Amino acid sequence: MKARLSLLYFLQFSVWGCYLTCFGQFLGAGGLGSNIAWFYAAIGLVSIITPSLLGRLADRTGRPEKLLGFCHLSAAIVMFVMWRYGMTHQHLEFKIFYPLYLLFLALYMPTMALANTATFGLLTQSGHNTVTSFPSIRIWGTIGFVAAMWFVNSAYWNEGMLRFAFSDKSDVGHLRFQYNAMQLLCSGIMGVVTCLYAFSLPTLRSVKSDLQTPTVKLPLRESLKVMFGKREITVFLIFVILSGVCLQISNGFVTPFITHFAGIGEYVGSLASGNATMLFSLSQISEAICILLVGIALKWRGIRTVYAIGLLAWALRFLMLGVGNPGNGLWLLIGSMLVYGLAFNFITIAGHLYIQQVAPANMKGFAQGLMMFMSNGIGATFGTLAAGAIVNRWCQWQIVSPAGSDTAMRLFMGEWIYPWCIFAVYAFIVMLLWLLCFRQKQ
């Protein structure tokens, strides 16, 4: 069972890995660079509604694995439409492309909570401990994400053949999938594969409560009263909102930031600026390593300490991005990628495990969806839009012809140190407030 669920997470996150971190570069090349924040805030917009609703549907039907497959298939169809539009239009129209992306996310984002619900249920059903078993399963999601990133970073299609390149100096370097709509085609294909695999999973038996009585399906208002009835859970969910913005800041702006060094004379032709997606993948490698620490850390010190470490790691990541460069500051860029493992896992993965433990037996799916609503919904939506305004204050997309290259590139040029330092200060302040406000019961 653990092996089958590991493959599920590998496929699940490869769908996202194909485009998420390099999507900003594609949008910039298509003339939508100033709207990057809106596209990454879209993750939050749809997470406000669909994950919690489909989580409740999964609770009512008791078949989260089947609902998971249906969502992946529907999302893949929309992604194929986006790919076709991107291939046939050099300049993307916001009024056409953005609604398509919203529809894709409305179908894809619930799969995160549904996969967690199905996995926790199948692990319990087969006699495994979720806290100790889940991290070793979830790590395969990160591996799938990294594999997809490496593929789109280097792959290109030319003269009817699939080939690979690693430098923008190459005549075909600009054809790599990380710069064009082919990243969307890869995502759609992986979505279909994930759908087929989800339908092959074992059927999840109906969950019983600790008293071995049938679970009661509560109305939405009653479910919210139960979840927010305890101060500890209420405070936790508030800070889930405040920390939710950090992940989308990272996903939306790190790759365009690294690539912009190709337009600065002393860094032209550097491997880092020409392989931003692959450099970003170090973050996911760090995530894969650090995820194994989550269960140990939670047992050792509890959610209060673990969450604080995660917020401190976000602050360090943003700070090192602000002062790093592909030259003598390359070690800072690499360091910012490595610390990401603690930042992501000690916030997101630890949070999902914590909410799974404190939620009533008949509300596991709703609780997972509610956490997605708070983090990827409210927090990511408003936080990412604010972050986009900050970035656009100091940085603008410009047509640049790097020295020694005949190909002009649209790059996100500007004083990047200011946005990154602002984000670092924000994460540090949230960490201090968390330590002051959250009190964990033994």
> Residue 186, exposed/middle/buried by CB under 10 A (0-12, 13-18, 19+)?
buried
Contact predicate 123/134, CB 8 Å? yes
Give Rg (Cα) of the chain: 21
Apex 375 CA angle, 57 and 275, nearest 5: 110
Mean pLDDT of the chain: 85
Percent of the chain with pLDDT strictly greater than 70? 90
**pLDDT at residue 317, rounded to an integer:** 96
What homologous superfamily is domain 2-203+223-437 in, according to CATH?
A: MFS general substrate transporter like domains (1.20.1250.20)
- 89 Cβ partners below 8 Å, 6+ apart? 30
pLDDT above 90 (res 113): no
Contact predicate 103/74, CB 8 Å? no
CB count in 10 Å sphere of residue 4: 14
- C-alpha 429, offset from chain centre: 23
Question: Which stretches of 171-267 are DSSP H helices?
Answer: 182-199, 220-227, 231-259
Separation CA 280–CA 28 (nearest Å): 18
Identity of the amino acid at 413: M
Residue 212, Ramachandran bin (φ over 0: left; ψ between -120 and 50: alpha; else beta): left
**pLDDT at residue 216, rounded to an integer:** 45
pTM tops 0.85, yes or no: no
Long-range own/partner contacts, residues 334-337 (CB < 8 A, 24 or more apart)? 334/279, 334/282, 337/279, 337/280, 337/282, 337/283, 337/286
> Three-class SS string for 326-374?
CCCCHHHHHHHHHCHHHHHHHHHHHHHHHHHHHCCHHHHHHHHHHHHHH
Question: Looking at 21-25, 37-41, 144-148, 229-233, which range is the least confident one?
Answer: 229-233
Grouping H, G, I as helix, E, B as strand and the rest as coil, residue 17 is: helix
**pLDDT at residue 62, rounded to an integer:** 60
**pLDDT at residue 266, rounded to an integer:** 83
Contact predicate 343/32, CB 8 Å? no
pLDDT above 70 (res 288): yes
Helix (H) or strand (E) holding 164: strand 161-164
Confidence of residue 58 (pLDDT cuts 50, 70, 90): low
CA proximity to 381, closest of 38, 143, 19: 38
**pLDDT at residue 208, rounded to an integer:** 44
CB count in 10 Å sphere of residue 102: 17
**pLDDT at residue 335, rounded to an integer:** 96
Residue labelled with tokens 């790691």: 313
Residue labelled with tokens 């995530």: 287
Contact predicate 223/366, CB 8 Å? yes
Token pair recorded at residue 30: 């298509």
Contact predicate 58/117, CB 8 Å? yes
Token pair recorded at residue 295: 């269960």
**pLDDT at residue 284, rounded to an integer:** 83
Q: Where are the domains of the chain?
A: 2-203+223-437
Separation CA 331–CA 350 (nearest Å): 28
Contact predicate 321/254, CB 8 Å? yes
Cross-strand pairs, 394: none
Average pLDDT over residues 343-364: 86
CA proximity to 185, closest of 85, 103, 292, 266: 85
pLDDT digits (tens, 9 = 90+) for 77-104: 999 999 999 999 989 999 999 999 999 9
Separation CA 36–CA 26 (nearest Å): 10
- Sign for the CA dihedral angle at 87, 90, 96, 98 comes to positive
